[in-house]
Structure 1
Amino acid sequence: MRASPSTARAINDRLALGLLQQHGPLTAAQLKTETGLSRPTVADLVERLGAAGLIEVVGESGAVRRGPNAKLYGIVAGRAHLAALDVRLGSVSVVVTDLLGATLAEDALPIGGDTGTGPAVERAAALLESAARAAGPVPLHSVGIGAPGLIDPATGELRDSTGLPAWHRGLVRELQRRLPATVLVENETNLAAVAELREGAAKGRDTFVLLWLGQGIGAAVMLDGRLRQGASGGAGEIGFLPVPGVGGLPSAVDCAGGFHSLAGSAALCELASAHGLLDLATVSEGGEEAAAVATVRAALEAGEPGEPFLKEVADRLALGSAAVASVLDPGCVLLAGAVGHAGGPALAARVEERLAAMSPLRTEVRAGSLGDGAVLRGALITARDAAQDALFAPEG
């Protein structure tokens, strides 16, 4: 069946807008070359998208020849504002951008564990509203939220999870209630994988598993460029993976005895203490991630004296990676989160070497390149995709 004229126009419009999003401003002649459309068709779509307020003339090309084709057309970045939130156990960070990702406002706020649910929700929501006002009068179109915990694949909502603050769920509901914007929530590790795929170390590789190494342990499964959340949203809950060497088994409500007890920040601090690299008395409650990051960096800088610690860290990470590889055979494991970023390519190379000795499946190990900001970047990409899906569909 042949597409109707209106359908063909919509397809051409989306194609042109996608090229402008990917490459930046283009002339009509460049759009003709990139799309393969005829000159009259390109002229029509440029006029149509301009009338819809989606593109505008942003300058001229450097060509000697002057005329319509020398004009540079770009997406109207200020047509919509986007927001992203990174919701942690004790804090929330926010960034507001235009449609092309230019940062307009950003802020962060600690939220202590003794803060009640209602006050915590109000403070976090007010932080977003304040950043949105600082960004200018353009209303928010889409908001992406990254949070720990499981996302129900049927409803898209954050599920109740043991050990996570109640204000997380309350914040999502409150933002959906008080904002006219589309509010989307996704697991933080999954968003980190989206960011690394689109902008980071996994760019050009659409199948991989990301290990999030921080205060807790998580994984994101990316197959053929698509996140796989699992039947209940729990794909990647690798902290509960039973592993040898921890003296017990995890339970349905506690990952102690699982991979978390081997590779979480608290476990790495204990390992560093056993190697004489860290005094546990100096580590405050909740400060294990920062201590683990500092110790990994110090061990790498120390050279030979740090090798025994780094070897054991690599052994532990390879154990979880081997389990993932044996089931999914992703061909690539990405070490992300604060600890993965701190270890960098040096730790990744050690894990890859150890993994090669444990598994017959060839698996490359890379270090994530976006660090702790990967969650916020992934949330922003999610918000931008949602806005573009809605806005980049002018009527034919």
Structure 2
Amino acid sequence: MPASPSTARVINDRLALRLLQQRGPLTAGQLKQLTGLSRPTVADLVERLSAAGLITVVGESDQQRRGPNARLYGIAADRAQLAALDVRTDGVTVTVADLLGRELARAGAPIGTDTATGPAVEQAVALVEQAVRRGRAERLHTLTVGAPGLIDPATGELRDSTGLPVWHRRLVTVLQRRLPGTRVVVENETNLAALAEQRDGAARGRDTFVLLWLGGGTGAAVILDGTLRRGASGGAGEIGFLPVPGTPGLPSATDCEGGFHRLASAPAVVDLAAAHGIAGHGPGVPQARGAEGAADLVRRAARLAAGTATAVADGTAPGGLQEQAADTERAARFLDALADRIALGVASVAAVLDPGCVVLGGEIGQAGGDALAARVEQRVARLSPLRTEVRAGVLGGAAVLRGALLTARDSAQEDLVTPPGAVPDSPSGQGR
């Protein structure tokens, strides 16, 4: 069935806005060429978007001709503001930006595990309000919250998940009450990281891949044929519960410690590094067991294993060739052991989904770089007949905040171009 005129206009407007986001200011002629639309259709959409305050004339092209066709149109960055909130078990980070994605303010704060629910929620909400004020976001259209755990695909709400603080679930309700004019969207953190890696990172140009999150915990995001797949209950990608060899027991419905999480989460990586003689900075310094601590160990091991002068130059390898050779060998063995573990998860994903590409995301995936990714790919090739390329994520832990901001921008623009009374499409990768 052909689209109605109003639906066609919305589709054309969104296409034009997407091109302006990706390529920067364009003339009407360039929009015509890139969209394949007729000249009158482009003229109409330029007039509509200008009247709605979504685009504005930002200059003229460097071509010789003058007049309306030479005007450069760009996104009206101040038409609305956006916010992204990365919620972790031990703290929050928020950023406020304009419609072009330019950062207006950023703030972050730890929230102790012993903090009561009420004070924890108040601390997180106050941080968001502070960032909004500092960014002078008078028209905050959309706030996207990236959180660990299950997001109900029907309601878009964060479900009760064992092991997560109670304040996570209360936070969204309080944000909606304290920001009444703002759309609050909740999404799983790993799904947001996958969106960011697809738009700006290691998965650019791929419409089918899996992102394996390796950070404080483990998770996976599944994107098939350009669509994020959540599963019937929103639990697609809960790879931490995957039963794997090498753990003392099996996972349960309430505990993933017997699953893949036991092998590849940050505390597990720190323990594995210690077992291979990979120590933290300085003698007697306790090794941090969070994502950043584990990532630091993996990063330095990857440099040492590469056998480059970098490790010596930046002080990560002690002096003396013999001692350096021993450190290099220990680092290589550690990365080999870590790759053995990660390959179990990647091979399982490949056997079920055959995505062709798996991105090692999160702080640990980024820290391992090509050295870790290549080792995992070699092992998966021995475990599975399905060819699977393994890439290192390039955005690390920052991918969650970046993905949340991209999701907020998409949501705001789709809403702003939808005519009053029309039912907008549900933004890809979002709950409400």
- Per the shorter chain, which TM-score range? over 0.9
The residue number in structure 1 matching 2:311 is none
Residues 333 and 12 from structure 1, CA distance in 2 versus in 1: closer, same or farther, beyond 3 angstroms? closer
The residue number in structure 2 matching 1:210 is 211
Offset from partner CA, 1:166-204 (integer Å, 9 cap, x none): 111111111112211110111111111111111111011
Whole-angstrom distance in 2 between the partners of 1:10 and 1:297: 46
The residue number in structure 2 matching 1:364 is 389
Structure 1 vs Structure 2 CA RMSD: 2.0
Question: Residue 299 of structure 1: which of 298, 301, 314 is its match?
Answer: 301
Whole-angstrom distance in 1 between the partners of 2:353 and 2:52: 45
Residues 41 and 300 from structure 1, CA distance in 2 versus in 1: closer, same or farther, beyond 3 angstroms? closer
Shift of 1:274: 1.7
The residue number in structure 2 matching 1:106 is 106
Offset from partner CA, 1:131-164 (integer Å, 9 cap, x none): 1111125321001011111111121100111111
Residues 276 and 200 from structure 1, CA distance in 2 versus in 1: closer, same or farther, beyond 3 angstroms? same
The residue number in structure 2 matching 1:154 is 154
Shift of 1:22: 2.5
Structure 2 gap ranges (5+): 306-327, 423-432
Whole-angstrom distance in 1 between the partners of 2:51 and 2:255: 57
Shift of 1:332: 0.8
- State whether structure 2 residue 69 is matched by structure 1 residue 69: yes
Aligned amino acid, residue 111 of structure 2:
I
SS, match of residue 344 in structure 1: helix
- State whether structure 2 residue 374 is matched by structure 1 residue 349: yes
Residues 49 and 394 from structure 1, CA distance in 2 versus in 1: closer, same or farther, beyond 3 angstroms? farther
Shift of 1:77: 1.1
Describe how 1:281-300 pairs up with structure 2 within 5 A: 282-283=285-286, 287-300=289-302
Residues 249 and 345 from structure 1, CA distance in 2 versus in 1: closer, same or farther, beyond 3 angstroms? same
The residue number in structure 1 matching 2:413 is 388
Shift of 1:308: 1.1
Offset from partner CA, 1:188-233 (integer Å, 9 cap, x none): 1111111111111101111111111112111111111111111111
SS, match of residue 43 in structure 2: helix
Partners of 1:318 and 1:351 within 8 A in 2? yes
The residue number in structure 2 matching 1:90 is 90
Shift of 1:7: 4.5
Residues 10 and 213 from structure 1, CA distance in 2 versus in 1: closer, same or farther, beyond 3 angstroms? closer
- 288-297 or 215-224: which moved more? 288-297
SS, match of residue 371 in structure 1: coil
Shift of 1:17: 2.6
Offset from partner CA, 1:62-121 (integer Å, 9 cap, x none): 111211111111121110000000001111000011111111111111111122111111
The residue number in structure 2 matching 1:46 is 46
Residues 35 and 277 from structure 1, CA distance in 2 versus in 1: closer, same or farther, beyond 3 angstroms? closer
Describe how 1:180-219 pairs up with structure 2 within 5 A: 180-219=181-220
Aligned amino acid, residue 251 of structure 1:
S
Q: Scaled by the length of structure 1, what TM-score is found? A: 0.95
Residues 254 and 15 from structure 1, CA distance in 2 versus in 1: closer, same or farther, beyond 3 angstroms? closer
Partners of 2:14 and 2:413 within 8 A in 1? no
Partners of 1:143 and 1:184 within 8 A in 2? yes
Offset from partner CA, 1:338-387 (integer Å, 9 cap, x none): 11110011110010011111111100000011111000011111111110
The residue number in structure 1 matching 2:117 is 117
Structure 1 gap ranges (5+): none
Whole-angstrom distance in 1 between the partners of 2:230 and 2:174: 25
Whole-angstrom distance in 2 between the partners of 1:28 and 1:80: 23
Whole-angstrom distance in 2 between the partners of 1:275 and 1:48: 63
SS, match of residue 26 in structure 1: coil
The residue number in structure 2 matching 1:35 is 35
Residues 392 and 271 from structure 1, CA distance in 2 versus in 1: closer, same or farther, beyond 3 angstroms? same
Partners of 1:229 and 1:235 within 8 A in 2? yes
Residues 137 and 368 from structure 1, CA distance in 2 versus in 1: closer, same or farther, beyond 3 angstroms? closer
Aligned amino acid, residue 231 of structure 1:
A
**May I ask how many residue pairs the two structures share in their alignment?**
395
Residues 342 and 6 from structure 1, CA distance in 2 versus in 1: closer, same or farther, beyond 3 angstroms? closer
Question: Residue 400 of structure 2: which of 371, 375, 386 is its match?
Answer: 375
Residues 30 and 83 from structure 1, CA distance in 2 versus in 1: closer, same or farther, beyond 3 angstroms? same
Partners of 2:270 and 2:289 within 8 A in 1? no
SS, match of residue 277 in structure 1: coil
